[in-house]
Amino acid sequence: LITGWVQSFFYGITIRAGDPKPQPGTPRYLKHRRRIHIAVILVYLLYTIYEADYWVRQNGDFYQDLGLPIDVDEKKIKARFRRLAAIHHPDKANSLADHAEAEEYFVKLKSAQDTLTNPTKRFAYERFGPDILQWQHVSSIRDYLSVGFQGLIPLYGGSVAFMMLLSMIGYLQSGRYVYTLTRPYPPPVLSRILNPLLRTMTSHPPLLPFQLLVLAHKMTITFFIALSQLSPLFANSTPPNTSSASAGDEQRLARLENLAQANENEAARLLALEMAPFVGDEEGQKNLRGKVKEWLVQNTIRADPEVRDAMGRAIQRRRVGAPVGARYRGDS
């Protein structure tokens, strides 16, 4: 549907008024439709990635809540929390509504401080996100990894093909994906490439490992959806065999030609039948031709809307340029 709208808009701005547009089913129309469809899918893919990134930024993280970099130490975290707690403490609220809002924000700051000052929770938070706050009966890194992998197995089970692709290019060798989650520090692609680029070129906050995984998951799903839509457009790259279609067209044209010839013969026979009373009467035939000519002029040519408009404009110009008396004589 969107492809059809875009194609109509494309023809509207690229083809001048009065020029013929490619008709549906023609090779040029199909070529334009295929290219526009590819462009629409790619734009949707980019929009989905932007939407996922926007969602990550809107939700934020504990580092952004405290206004600290992701490599901050425990001492600075506690100092920052004490400063923010003194400013946003619920006891300083003026009204009941402000008190409820301040209390909610204070609890959020307290959760951020408690999580980031605990090395085990901080490790799990950076890899699995704020969901770890709801996990129970976990106390060690091993427990967090066990619960986290139990939630990721169904999620990434549908991405086996993508993981196989990564293995073909060498990323999964020696368990690199598992090592990305279990290593004690962020992956180099995040700390050395992506986050420095974000800091120097944009105002985008640095990404944590779990946020990178959220974006990667969204991109993977969108990639497979786009691939399922684009693959049929590239699968049949060879032009279809038109020999059978050409043979069918020739048969239909032959039938139309025979039908037109039969109609022409029948019209000639009917005309000869109507002219039978005037055979040998040249004067009668001459009068008949004159009457037929007059009838054609009066009922066919002059009845045409374009001819009537042209005649009206000609009469109007003649009336405008004529003297006053001539105008009235012409009108009468």
Could you tell me if 182 and 145 are in contact, meaning their C-beta atoms sit under 8 angstroms apart?
yes
pLDDT of residue 114: 92
Location of structure tokens 């629409």: 40
User: How high is the pLDDT of residue 229?
Assistant: 66
SS3 of 31-96: the string is HHHHHHHHHHHHHHHHHHHHHHHHHHHHHCCHHHHHCCCCCCCHHHHHHHHHHHHHHHCHHHCCCH
**Sign of the C-alpha dihedral computed for residues 315, 316, 322 and 323 taken in this order:** positive
Burial class (CB in 10 A: 0-12, 13-18, 19+), 122: middle
The amino acid at residue 312 is G
C-alpha to C-alpha distances, 47 to 41, 42, 53, 187, 206, nearest whole angstrom: 10, 9, 10, 26, 20
Contacts of 114 (CB under 8 A, 6+ apart): 121
What pLDDT digit, counting tens, does each position of 24-37 carry?
Answer: 888 888 888 888 88
State the amino acid at position 158 in one-letter form: G
Measure the CA–CA gap between 233 and 31, rounded to whole angstroms.
10
Q: How far apart are CA 98 and CA 188, in angstroms?
A: 43
Mean pLDDT of the chain: 75
pLDDT for 175: 44
Task: Kindly give, in sequence order, each residue whose CB lies less than 8 Å from that of residue 68, ignoring residues fewer than 6 positions away.
Answer: 76, 77, 80
| Residue of higher predicted confidence among 187 and 273 | 273
Higher pLDDT, 89 or 331: 89
Which residues contact residue 217 at a Cβ distance below 8 angstroms, ignoring those fewer than 6 apart? 155, 156, 159
Please report which residue ranges of 119-242 form alpha helices under DSSP H: 119-128, 141-157, 160-168, 176-182, 188, 195-201, 209-235
pLDDT the model gives residue 330:
44
pTM for this prediction: 0.47
72 pLDDT higher than 50: yes
Higher pLDDT, residue 175 or 315: 315
Q: CA 14, 18, 24, 28 torsion: positive or negative?
A: negative
* Per-residue pLDDT tens over the stretch 272-288: 777 777 777 778 778 87
- Could you give the CA distance from residue 145 to residue 161 in angstroms, rounded to a whole number? 24
Count of C-beta atoms within a 10 Å radius of residue 110? 13
